[in-house]
A and B are shown apart, each in its own frame.
Chain A
Amino acid sequence: MIDKYKWWEKVGIYFAVACFLIFVLAPFAEALMVSLRPIEAVFRAPYRFFTPDMTFQAYIDMWTNVPGLPRYIANSFFISCAVTLLALACIIPAAYSVSRFDYMCRDTILMAFLAVNMIGAAVLIVPLYKIMLLLGLLNTYWAMIIPGAAFTVPTGIFLMRSYFLRIPKELEEAAYVDGASRLYTLWRVILPVAAPGIMVVSITVFITAYAQQFLFALTFNSVDAYHPLPMGLYQFFGREQVVYNELMAASLVGILPVLILYVFLQKYIVAGLTAGAVKE
């Protein structure tokens, strides 16, 4: 009954929702419209949302004009997956360590990871560039994977820790009584129980890595074949005369896989993003 709305309240709320969604989705809608126009219609004033000469031509032409497109899409996924694997290999043991053991400096170490979280990659770009140069990693996938992973580890540790803390200690104690080693216990007893948490952490890391590939690619990579999607398209974006309909078509096709993934996995994504809002 408390949730009963009067008719004008309903109208007001739906109106506000509509306005909110227009702000959020307008760029996507406009991108779609532009991608469906021939280039002469893209550069035509006055502005019209619908034009009569809509066509899918840009979706056909872009594969010849942006030959690297499939490669960029694949690169984006490959880099994000590699970042996720590398980050998980760091996050899971570290989170287990800080959530299960009591030792000197533990809280200081946790605080240090938290502080890392506040430093953006762009601030450290000079030494990072020098390190990549020194290690000979410039213009390789590694130059985008390693820093990508490093900057997601701190958040990941905190997120993973909150899942480990929920697992009762008795589970490990039972395993120890049976003579299992600690590493075996972590691997065979704890990890399966923590699987939903690992899922949330992986997806959160993946989405973060996927959304933020631009800076590292822009700075550390100049090999076209290694570019992730944002950087691959940025090259076309920087040209004198941007072929907007094809650029938008390529953008939409490029983000389609992750959008589909999102629809199926949104429960986990939301869980990962909002952890911390609710007190543990």
Chain B
Amino acid sequence: MTRRFDAFPYLLLLPAALLTLTIVAWPLFETFRLSFTNASLRPTEEYVGFANYVEIFEDDFWEVIQRTFVWMSLSVVFKMIMGVIGAVLLNAALPGRTLFRVLIMPPWIVPVAIGVFMWSWMYNGQFGMISGVAQKIGLLSGPFEFLAYKQSAFIATVVTDVWVGTPLVSLYLLAAMQSIPKEQYEAAWVDGASRFYRFRRITLPLLAPAIFTMGLLSAIWTFNSFDIIWILTEGGPRGATTTMIIDTYKTAISRFRFGEGSARAVMILICMTAFAAVNLALMARRGRKTGAGK
């Protein structure tokens, strides 16, 4: 007996498909197409071949790519470190952990932009908290405008990005940590293993896949991070915090060079595809391992 074609499941997919096709798939295609044109606010556009790509690489684009990867790596590594520390602390069976869990989340709950307003004041060199406290304990000898110098602005944007991402990573790793079977710890404990030893030999190895998955996801999100840098520095000072996303936005939206902006966006998509491929391959492998009985 052959199964009759059943339209019902496809119909259920329709609203989601329509929305994603118009807002994601079509723009994706358009980005590629526009990257070969000289589109701008003018009503007409012409195909210009690879001219946009030639132009961006004559610019300092390699530097932008490099900077983006350094920015992202720094941010992701610190998010993971903070996340593991946060998860370990949240996992400690001590009074007050519920309160701790409630207090850790606000950076993730409030609008990113609002959190960044607060950070921008923190970084104020004359009157801000960081500069003020650093002067008080003797780390700085005078006012220091964190967002005015290339290196410190770069670090400052990373710190704020880590701040926004830490709660989520902590809670995600905590959930993964709590799914590690208790017996393992008990067995090690009976054998007299210290707490630190148990962390190093049981928790970390069993947590590694979750750290890796989260790291990859986090890398993708960080790569796409826009609000934080835009509000803190708009890519400055002198381009020091101009990541690929900021660079694309400035070209395309601030200067209305849609064609060239699209070419820059395509370069981001190429980088993202690499991440996505790794991620999907990993998920497929895990799916084969655990989904056998599904």
Footprint of B on A, CB under 8 Å? 2-3, 5, 9-10, 13-14, 16-17, 20-21, 23-28, 30-31, 34, 42-49, 76, 86, 89-91, 93-94, 96-98, 100-101, 103, 106, 109, 111, 113-116, 118-131, 146-147, 149-151, 153-154, 157, 182, 207, 210-215, 218-219, 228-231, 233-234, 237, 244, 247-248, 251, 254-255, 258-259, 262-263, 266, 269-270, 273-274, 276-279
Contact = CB atoms under 8 A, between A and B. Distances in A.
A273 B168 contact: yes
Residue of B118, B220, B258 with highest tally of chain A CB at under 10 A: B118
Nearest to A181: B8
Contact of B167 (A24, A90, A91): A24
A272 B246 CA distance: 30
Interface in B171-209: 171-176, 178-179, 185-186, 189, 195
B154 interface: no
A125 B23 contact: no
A230 B280 contact: no
Nearest to A230: B113
B262 interface: yes
A263 B101 CA distance: 11
B23 A150 contact: yes
A147 B23 CA distance: 6
A93 B13 CA distance: 6
Given A153-B20, A214-B112, A24 B163 contact: yes
Interface in B253-277: 253, 258, 261-262, 265, 268-269, 272, 275-276
Contacts of A3: 93
A120 B19 contact: no
A126 B31 contact: yes
B49 interface: no
A149 B19 contact: yes
Given A120-B224, A274-B175, A43 B26 contact: no
Residue of A21, A31, A48, A111 with highest tally of chain B CB at under 10 A: A31
A214 B232 CA distance: 13
A184 B187 CA distance: 52
B156 to A, nearest CB: 12
B9 A101 contact: yes
Interface residues of B, number: 109
A103 B108 contact: no
Given A9-B195, A46-B135, A237 B231 contact: yes
A107 B86 CA distance: 35
B23 A128 contact: yes
B132 interface: yes
Nearest to A207: B109
A214 B20 contact: no
Contacts of B106: 24-25, 28, 259, 262
B15 A274 contact: no
Contacts of A228: 111
Residue of B15, B22, B214 with highest tally of chain A CB at under 10 A: B15
A90 B15 contact: yes
Contacts of B110: 211, 255, 258-259
A89 B13 CA distance: 10
Contacts of A270: 101, 105, 171
Contacts of A2: 185-186, 189
A278 B185 contact: no
Given A97-B9, A103-B10, A125-B253, A47 B131 contact: yes
